[in-house]
Amino acid sequence: MRALTHDQAVFEVAGSQKKPYTVTITSDPYGVITDCTCPHAAKGALCKHVVAAAHTLADHLIAHPLNPWRSVFASFQALPRRRPTPMRLVFSLLERGATWTLMPYTIAERVIPQAVMDDPVALHRHLMTKDVLIQAKIPRTPLHPSHVPSTAEAALVVANMIITVSHQFFYGAAFPLSTVLDSVVQFLPNTILFMGDDYNPFRRMVQVCSDHAQIHLHGTATADGITITPMLHVGDTRATLDTADVRMLHSAPPWAIYRTMLVRYDDPGNILTLFGRYQHLHIPAADYPEFIERYLMPLAEHTPLSGDLPQQALVAADPQPRVYLREHESTVFAELRFGYADHEVAYDQQLPAETMRYHPDHATILRIQRHSTSEEHAWGELLRHGLKRGPQAGVATLRSGTTVATFLLTHVPALVAMNFSIYGEESLLGARINRHTPSISLRVSSGIDWFDLEAVVRFGETELHLAEFRRAIRKRERYVQLADGSLGAIPEAWLDRYRHLFAFGDLHAETLRFAPAHSTVVDAVLEETDQVDQRFKERSERLKTINGIEAQALPAGFETVLRPYQKAGYDWLHFLYAYGFGGCLADDMGTGKTIQTLVFLQSLVSRGQTSASSLIVMPRSLIFNWQREIARWTPELRVLVHTDHGRADTTAAFANADLVLTTYGTLLRDHDLLATYQFSYVVLDEAQTIKNPVSQTARAVRALRSEHRLTLSGTPVENSIMELWSQFAFLNPGMLGSLDHFRTEFATPIERDGDAHAAQLLRRMVNPCILRRTKDQVAPDLPARNERILYCAMEAAQHKLYQRYRDQYRAQLLSLIDDHGMNDSRMKVLEGLLRLRQICNHPRLVESTFRGRSAKFEQLLETLAILQAEGHKALIFSQFVQMLTILREHLDQQNVSYTYLDGKTQNRAAVVDRFQTDPHVHFFLISLKAGGVGLNLTAADYVIHIDPWWNPAVEQQATDRTHRIGQEKPVFIYKLIVRESVEEKMVHLQERKRALADSIITSEQGIVKALTRDDVADLFS
């Protein structure tokens, strides 16, 4: 750097020559001007020497900032000491060879009076004089407002921009028009422009036109063809581009001078570039059709046509989807096209807004407006009906696994229903379709121990063989091969209606033969036919309702013992006996299932209708209860208790007994012995014990031999419909088919998919063999039952422990579920829920050293104190024996009398008797698992559930220990729930998940099995 002042810096810069170059950087109020002595800068370009000097100057000024006082006062000194000569400012479009540029010119005001400036015509005439032309100058430096006092500010800004940029980048050369013209027009809408050249910049005056012009293609017909000419259309006027009136500025965006107007024009078809140096093109008549199809129609999408070229017409109509079918090398292709009025177009996945068509008869180019949304929807529907994208655009082929028959019989009718037109079906060689709607005729005839079903299916005049119909139904095939080789479509409804029917019957010639146990299946399916013989009709009617069952005489002395509903149950048991059906007596707990069974067995013995003793299997806790009930109601029956040590090791003793009582545990141990004896009846009490069909207990009872079978259960379905299959596999083997068949056709569709048809059919099949009456139905005079939830909030220490366990399990479980899925995570989920529920009861259940208080335990103690003071008796249930142990410790400390029962209790009868008879014993502490069923505890009028269980039916069973026949006092049920805990969420989840068995028999779907990831996240939140 050789010199530095407040407004200028001078540098010597080493370059490719020996002598260094001189670079000058000057600053003034209107910008920065640079200069360099190198050849590159002399051509008007910005050189590398200037860039190097600018970097050096910037670094220097950062390190050594200038004191601004000189620059401040320099601007003051720069003010002219005398008034400068005022100038006029005008702009001119200069033509320099093939390029145009816009430049400002200044002329002394004294040369152009103000009156002339106000008159554009006079101004143009004045500027054309020689004296004025000589004085017109292009400014080399930016103008100060004082130089051009009568010039608008916007015009001065534009002029200085042109001056500065022209000097900066072109070293005085003309400024390129393309970079500034749009800005000039925007800032100077009313400024007068001239056009000319460097010798006379004011040859013509032009005015900016606010409207855009357009490039048209104009056709002029000739004897041997047509001549095509690009034309500039400005408003209502037009001109060819080769006239003197038109000057194309070749700028971007494009501008033109038309006569005295500067106009911007649109050329979306890029016609000027296409024609290039040609002003006209001649199309021979022989080539005209090709020209229109290949070139003119694509151009017409963007460029207006005029003259003798075809006119354009708009086609606006709704699209009609059309599918054209064809077959090639055993592959079916479906081409999608659309009809718009009288015109048809192919589906284009690019979804164009318009399609052009030439109509030669009317010399018209049709612009067909496409409905892209409707077309895309139609294409999507096509792909949802057995097709996939094909090798060409708009063409689809059959999906893997979709046969021609399936497509034609299933998907084509669906497409037709959605207003598709289908063409070419008759050309497909792979399938010949029978379009007749099939009809079916059913007839049932009965034998001694069987009945036959005859089914005749017709498609028009063509009959379908029963064997083929059965095969198609069982395999759920929608089409069948008819005798004439054509294909017929089986209605979807038939697949659901008849699939169960054909799963049970055996094919005999042209009929299906069924066993008596399957009469309910046939009756449920054939409700709509009258073609059944009288024997089957009478049997079906008797199976449908208990009210039509013939009344049976009671054994002597029982006329006043049984209530009306119990007498109806007694008659129902005789009805099953007469027809050889096994049955499930599923009345509510406490409504007298035991006495109904005993009176029925007593009647069989009294009538001599038993060939051997009957076996009654039950949980161990119920042995004494059955003994007591037998002694009370049917003392004439001879009873053998086959349990414990000393029991018989042969069946010889059975001959001297009417009833043999045993337990499920003894049955497993003595299975080989018991399976050798042919019993008259086998009765299972609390038959939900065999709910798992693959358990040892379920297998063992199914292997027992007997003439008749009966189960007793207040909840034959607790968690899954598969439990119902287990019951009926014992009661009526084969009635519900195989285990796999039942799971596939009933359990999974009902539980997972909510299949109402399958649920209704199953209900009708099992209904004759299940008798269920609720307490509300059969004992309206039973004392009132009042339920109440007692809420409590955790203490601080208890809540802190709960939060720690909850957060720990939540993080572990959600990660485990994400990695391994819900099924593989259920045991860990149950573990976490168990821990949280134990903390809700008492933290000592998870951490024995805990010394804080339990809110629930404190509330329980307060409640028990009130009940004792008022003289009430209460059953206290908990799933956790450890919780009952903590309660026992407290009651012992307070010298409170109570009785206790869990799975280890030996003399249960004595424990029950003490609670029932001792007025000083107010509380009975019971393990839910050990004492939730089979006990008669009507001395209690309060029930307390310390902790909730997933299955409300289990809580219901426990409550029914006291709310049952024989209870004379109102029963109050308390459930202790900790707020904002997993217990409160369990209550809500019970209601949300309760949906399954009410449609079949009784209670709810297994909650734990039905948990989802979202449920887990909520439970541990």
- Among residues 437, 407, 403, the alpha carbon closest in space to that of 422 is found at 407
CATH superfamily of 785-1019: P-loop containing nucleotide triphosphate hydrolases (3.40.50.300)
Residue 448 has a pLDDT of 63
Q: Could you count the other beta carbons within 10 Å of the beta carbon of residue 236? A: 5
Distances (CA, A) of 117 to 122, 127, 201, 245, 501: 8, 10, 17, 26, 105
CATH superfamily of 545-778: Tandem AAA-ATPase domain (3.40.50.10810)
**In which order are the strands placed within the sheet that holds 898-901?**
785-792, 971-978, 942-945, 874-878, 923-927, 898-901
Rounded Cα distance, 972 and 958, in Å: 13
DSSP letter string over 395-423? EEEEPTT--HHHIIIIIHHHHHHTT-EEE
DSSP letter string over 476-528? T-SEEE-TTS-EEEPPHHHHHHHHHHHHH-EEETTEEEE-GGGHHHHHHH-TT
Rounded Cα distance, 683 and 585, in Å: 10
Q: Evaluate whether 672 touches 625 at the Cβ level (below 8 Å).
A: no
> Residues 379, 385, 387, CA angle at the centre, nearest 5°?
75
SS3 readout for 90-146: EEEEEEECCEEEEEEEEEEHHHCCHHHHCCHHHHHHHHCCHHHHHHCECCCCCCCCC
Look up tokens 């027992």; give the residue.
704
Burial class (CB in 10 A: 0-12, 13-18, 19+), 443: middle
As a whole number of angstroms, the longest Cα–Cα distance in the chain is: 151
Helix (H, G, I), strand (E, B) or coil at 16: coil
DSSP letter string over 747-804? IHHHHHH--HHHHHHHHHHHGGGEE---HHHH-TTSPPEEEEEEEE---HHHHHHHHH
C-alpha dihedral (124, 86, 139, 251), degrees to nearest 10:
-40
Q: What is the DSSP letter of 960?
A: T
ω into residue 253 within 30 of 0, thus cis? Answer: yes
Tokens of 219: 């056709």
Q: Evaluate whether 192 touches 181 at the Cβ level (below 8 Å).
A: no
| E strand or H helix that includes residue 248 | strand 246-248
Distant-in-sequence, close-in-space partners of 88: CB < 8 Å, separation ≥ 6:
106, 107, 108, 109, 111, 112, 117, 148, 150, 151
Rounded Cα distance, 185 and 208, in Å: 7
**Which segments in the chain show pLDDT lower than 70?**
28-31, 42-45, 70-83, 166-191, 429-431, 447-449, 517, 524-548, 775-776, 779-782, 932-934, 950-953, 965, 989-1012
Where b means 16+ CB within 10 Å and e means fewer, 888-912 reads beebeeeebebbbbbeebeebeebb
DSSP letter string over 48-60? HHHHHHHHHHHHH
Domain extents for the chain?
3-77, 80-208, 213-309, 314-361+368-431, 438-541, 545-778, 785-1019
Residue type, position 875, single letter: L
Q: Evaluate whether 462 touches 484 at the Cβ level (below 8 Å).
A: yes
Distances (CA, A) of 201 to 91, 127, 701: 9, 9, 117
Residue 1006 has a pLDDT of 42
Domains 545-778 and 785-1019 share a fold: yes
Distant-in-sequence, close-in-space partners of 373: CB < 8 Å, separation ≥ 6:
none
Residue 401 has a pLDDT of 82
Q: How do residues 787-800 score in pLDDT, each as one tens digit?
A: 888 888 888 899 99
